[in-house]
Amino acid sequence: MAKEIYSKYPLIKYLRKEALPTALCPGCGGGTVLNAFANAVDGLKIDPKDLVVVSGIGCSAWIASPYFLADTLHTTHGRAIAFATGVKVGLPDKKVVVISGDGDLASIGGNHLLHAARRNIDITVILVNNMIYGMTGGQVAPTTPFGAKTTTSPYRNIEHPLNISETVAAAGASYVARWTTAHVYQLIESIKKALQVKGFSLVEVVSQCPVQFGRRNRMKEPAEMLRWFLKNSVPVSKAKKMKPEELEGKFVIGEFVNRERPEFVTELNKLIDEVQEHFGLKGE
């Protein structure tokens, strides 16, 4: 059955067939993210041979590794960006993409996220923010909304969520955008832009986890979560004019930054050139 459904899917050529069907729950936003990524790659006509996809550990980490048919590196929890850094230095002409969860990239891996943005290394990060630890059974995450219920905040979450996009923008990324899984076309366009930007780019996708998040917060159905996203999304431009109290519990969507800054691997190679020149080491 699953095979039949997949065979009708026009972008099946981008997927590793022997790894299908995916392990994601029905209605998980991860499917939307994989679809959007495949669409962006297809839209830009990127040869998958020119892609390396890296992920950490978690449900979202599985979205593209192993399912996307490219060189894929499924790493340890939190460290995907650091692994990707080594890959990018070795393969500066390839597109290096990290797709992983909010827990993976912004909690345990928060340090690597900030420093990759600071270096402005040319890696595209698609961060799937489902506001929870899905894979480990629905524990509280640094992105869980204030007041929400999870298995480790059974009464209510008393911690404030991290605003990932704003933080990464402040750290120095070249491109940062946030959408939800209810904004598929905008999401595809942003992933395309991110893939073309020379520098560190982050696309944060607020995504539904009906199984671990929705169920405990009166949104069992995936559609209920999507409606929640739509109803509470505020474009960045409008959000700028709003007071912090008004933005409480809202999803600010759109582009946060899009700018040019010297890129890390380019600078590394420039430095090597200068050093070799300086010491008279250039080949004849």
Ligand X SMILES: Cc1ncc(C[n+]2csc(CCOP(=O)(O)OP(=O)(O)O)c2C)c(N)n1
Q: Which residues bind another protein (CB under 8 A)?
A: 16, 18-19, 48-49, 52, 54, 65-66, 69-76, 78-79, 82-92, 94, 111-112, 114-115, 268, 271-272, 275-276, 279, 281, 283
Extract the runs of DSSP E, i.e. beta strands, from 36-186.
Answer: 51-55, 71-74, 95-101, 123-129, 175-180
Under rule CB under 6 A, which residues in 58-117 are in contact with ligand X? 58-60, 77, 101-104
204 binding ligand X? (CB under 6 A): no
Beta bridge pairs of residue 97: 53, 124
Burial letters 15-33, b for 16+ CB under 10 A, else e: beeeebebebeebbbbbbb
Binding partner selected for residue 92 from another protein, ligand X, ligand SF4, none, CB under the kind-specific 5 to 8 Å limit: another protein
Residue selected from 46, 53, 59, 125 as contacting ligand SF4 according to rule CB under 6 A: 59
Residue selected from 134, 145, 161, 199 as contacting ligand SF4 according to rule CB under 6 A: 134
In residues, how long is the chain?
284
Residue 237 or 276 having the CB closest to another protein: 276
Residue selected from 161, 172, 210, 254 as contacting ligand SF4 according to rule CB under 6 A: 210
* Residues 16, 20: Cα–Cα separation, whole Å: 7
Residue 77 or 183 having the CB closest to another protein: 77
CB of 209 to ligand SF4, least distance (A): 3
Beta bridge pairs of residue 206: 129, 180
Cis amide linkage into residue 66, ω under 30° from 0: yes
Per rule CB under 6 A, count of chain residues that contact ligand X: 17
Residue whose structure tokens are 């899917």 = 9
181 binding ligand X? (CB under 6 A): no
Binding partner selected for residue 181 from ligand X, another protein, ligand SF4, none, CB under the kind-specific 5 to 8 Å limit: none
Under rule CB under 6 A, which residues in 116-135 are in contact with ligand X? 128, 130, 132-135
33 binding ligand SF4? (CB under 6 A): no
Where does residue 277 rank: exposed (0-12), middle (13-18), buried (19+ CB within 10 A)? exposed
* Residues 268, 263: Cα–Cα separation, whole Å: 9
